[in-house]
């Protein structure tokens, strides 16, 4: 580590402690050249995630694309932006665990799982595009699948 004042690369660590809720290490350093102290932070570098599309092409995972597609599905629904970000956080976490390469289908399945718990109408909207519905029977089939996953809420009588 180079000193920000004298540019010397000889220093010693005076103090280390966790930072950002354990996501980083904060280090106080003392330069051997000028004896000034400075702070550095050490973080784990994000592992790149590559999406393999249906046609076989590859693209870097783009969280904003997932957010955009979920936002379209929840339009005019009682869902907050924070809830959308929570769903996308879960999707990203789950696909990152699967490895450095994931298929677009795996991402779609994870989004559907999150939307099924969040809002059934948004789920159907997303499914209609993701699964390329062509006929009304496609909607009926998917509605049957959704109803099996989450029993309908009873209305007060």
pLDDT value, residue 16 = 96
Structure tokens at 33: 């050249």
Residue ranges of domains in the chain: 11-43, 50-149
C-alpha torsion sign, points 59, 86, 113, 126:
negative
- Report the chain (157 residues): mean pLDDT per 10 consecutive residues: 94 94 92 96 83 94 95 95 95 91 95 94 92 89 83 53
**Nearest-angstrom CA–CA distance, 95 and 110:** 8
Q: What is the pLDDT of residues 61-82, one digit of tens each?
A: 999 999 999 999 999 999 999 9
**Nearest-angstrom CA–CA distance, 40 and 42:** 7
């Amino acid at each position: 580590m180079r000193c920000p004042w004298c540019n010397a690369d000889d220093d010693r660590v005076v103090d280390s402690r966790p930072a950002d809720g354990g996501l980083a290490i904060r280090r106080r350093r003392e330069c051997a050249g000028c004896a000034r102290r400075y702070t550095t932070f050490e973080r784990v570098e994000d592992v790149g995630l590559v999406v393999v599309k249906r046609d076989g092409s590859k693209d870097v995972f783009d969280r904003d694309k997932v957010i955009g597609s979920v936002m379209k599905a929840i339009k005019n629904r009682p869902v907050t932006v924070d809830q959308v970000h929570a769903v996308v956080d879960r999707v990203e976490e789950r696909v990152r665990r699967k490895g450095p390469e994931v298929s677009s289908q795996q991402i779609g399945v994870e989004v559907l799982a999150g939307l099924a718990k969040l809002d059934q109408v948004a789920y159907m909207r997303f499914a209609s595009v993701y699964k390329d519905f062509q006929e009304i029977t496609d909607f009926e089939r998917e509605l049957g699948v959704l109803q099996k996953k989450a029993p309908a809420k009873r209305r007060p009588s």
